[in-house]
Amino acid sequence: MKRILITGAAGFLGSHLCDRYIKEGFRVVGMDNLITGDLKNIEHLMKLENFEFYHHDVSKYVHVPGELNYILHFASPASPIDYLKIPIQTLKVSSLGTHNLLGLALAKKARILVASTSEVYGDPLVHPQTEDYWGNVNPVGPRGVYDEAKRFQEAITMAYHTYHGLETRIVRIFNTYGPRMRLNDGRVLPAFIGQALRGEDLTIFGNGSQTRSFCYVDDLVEGIHRLLMSNESQPVNVGNPSEITIADFAEEIIKLTGTKQKVIYKDLPVDDPKQRQPDITRARSILGWEPKVNRQEGLKITYDYFRNLPKEELFKDHKEFKK
Ligand code: UDP
């Protein structure tokens, strides 16, 4: 039986990965410091014999007794609001944390996959983004703490691969959505759906002409699994190339939720990328992967998740977000 360590296990992506590897018949070790993660996301796994959980910050030395075959490093804040609130932890988890996990992988002779991001491309000047594009990143802007930590993460992961011969995988994740996203994390999808459910206007930042390409979480998890099991040590984009402006996305959410509210416009955050779309040629050819769930289907599932949350959560989270 294979044993896998998943960091960020109580987060949005981490918890879906825990589910997937439990289904695959692995023994899953979850780890999370619970700063942005929530134990509710993995509550259903806690009683399983094949699941164990460590409440630990991977920026500090990581000790896991016993054998490990795989490590997935998914611990990190992942929204611009979080980077502003916890910039130092954001830097540390993808630098010091990645270093600790690479050391652990070496000691255990485990294969490690690290979660990188489309943010390594910054505000991209190449469109759609291919893996050989080096990016346009402002190191000292508000997103720099995330973008540069993730770029360092890729560099140190590659160095462990070339210098130590460690089996490493790097996935560059584009905007992903689905159940268990945090309602108050500031990301556009929970923001719009939360606003619709509370009967508030939808806040578009800037004029809404900026684009994103949204991938449903199950598609992403499948892409990650295929990459983990492949021989590819170069970075691979995983995301859905279906691109949409934020203004059109707001219209889709208004239709989906039936809200009578309107859109209002707020300032565009500093360094907000103008366009983003993954070129997934590499994932298609190496992994035989492409997304299967279209936005209409994915949004419906995600909306059902949010509207079935206890009502007080809608408002509790909202207050915290407003602080
Ligand atoms: N955005 C928006 N209204 C919101 C939250 C976000 O218009 O209430 C915009 C944001 O400025 C960005 C896009 O939606 O252009 C996606 O933002 P998100 O934080 O989800 O992800 P990222 O910018 O990291 O792709």
What CATH number does residue 302 fall under? 3.90.25.10
> 121 C-alpha to center of ligand 1: Å?
16
| Mean pLDDT along residues 266-279 | 96
> 187 C-alpha to center of ligand 1: Å?
6
Residues 7-20 pLDDT 10s = 999 999 999 999 99
- Give which of 215, 216, 200 is closest to 314, Cα–Cα: 200
Output the six-digit token pair for 36.
């942005």
Residues 274-287 pLDDT 10s = 999 999 999 999 99
Residues 101 and 199 in one domain: no
Task: Please tell me the total count of domains within the chain.
Answer: 2
CA–CA gap between residue 122 and residue 175 (Å, rounded): 13
Residues 200 and 309 in one domain: yes
Q: List, chain by chain if needed, residues with CB within 6 Å of any ligand 1 atom.
A: 79-80, 175, 186-188, 191, 203-205, 210, 212, 246, 269, 272
| Mean pLDDT along residues 240-256 | 98
Residues 208 and 221 in one domain: no
> 229 C-alpha to center of ligand 1: Å?
32
The Cα-based distances of 150 to 14, 34, 166 in angstroms read: 17, 20, 19
The domain of 204 spans 188-212+242-275+294-313
Indicate which atom in ligand 1 lies nearest the CA of residue 191.
Answer: 8
Residues 68 and 134 in one domain: yes
The Cα-based distances of 191 to 249, 250, 314, 321 in angstroms read: 12, 10, 11, 10
Q: Which residues of 77-92 are buried (b: 16+ CB within 10 A; e: fewer)?
A: bbbbbbbeebbebbbb
Residues 155-205 pLDDT 10s = 999 999 999 999 999 999 999 999 999 998 899 999 999 999 999 999 999
Q: 70, 121, 146, 177: which is the annotated catalytic residue?
A: 146
Residues 103-125 pLDDT 10s = 999 999 999 999 999 999 999 99
Largest CA distance in the chain: 58
Distance from chain centroid for Cα 59: 18
> Is 146 part of the annotated catalytic residue set?
yes
Question: What CATH number does the domain containing 229 carry?
Answer: 3.40.50.720
> 299 C-alpha to center of ligand 1: Å?
16
Residues 169 and 305 in one domain: no
Tell the residue nearest (CA) to atom 6 of ligand 1. Answer: 188
φ and ψ at residue 55, rounded to 5 degrees: -85, 95
CA–CA gap between residue 48 and residue 268 (Å, rounded): 45
Cis peptide before 77 (omega within 30 of 0): no
Q: Which three-class secondary structure state does DSSP give residue 187?
A: coil
Output the six-digit token pair for 34.
């619970």
Tell the residue nearest (CA) to atom 14 of ligand 1. Answer: 188
Q: Report whether pLDDT(37) > 60.
A: yes
Q: Is the pTM of this model over 0.75?
A: yes
Q: What is the number of alpha carbons within 13 Å of residue 131 lying toward its C-beta? A: 18
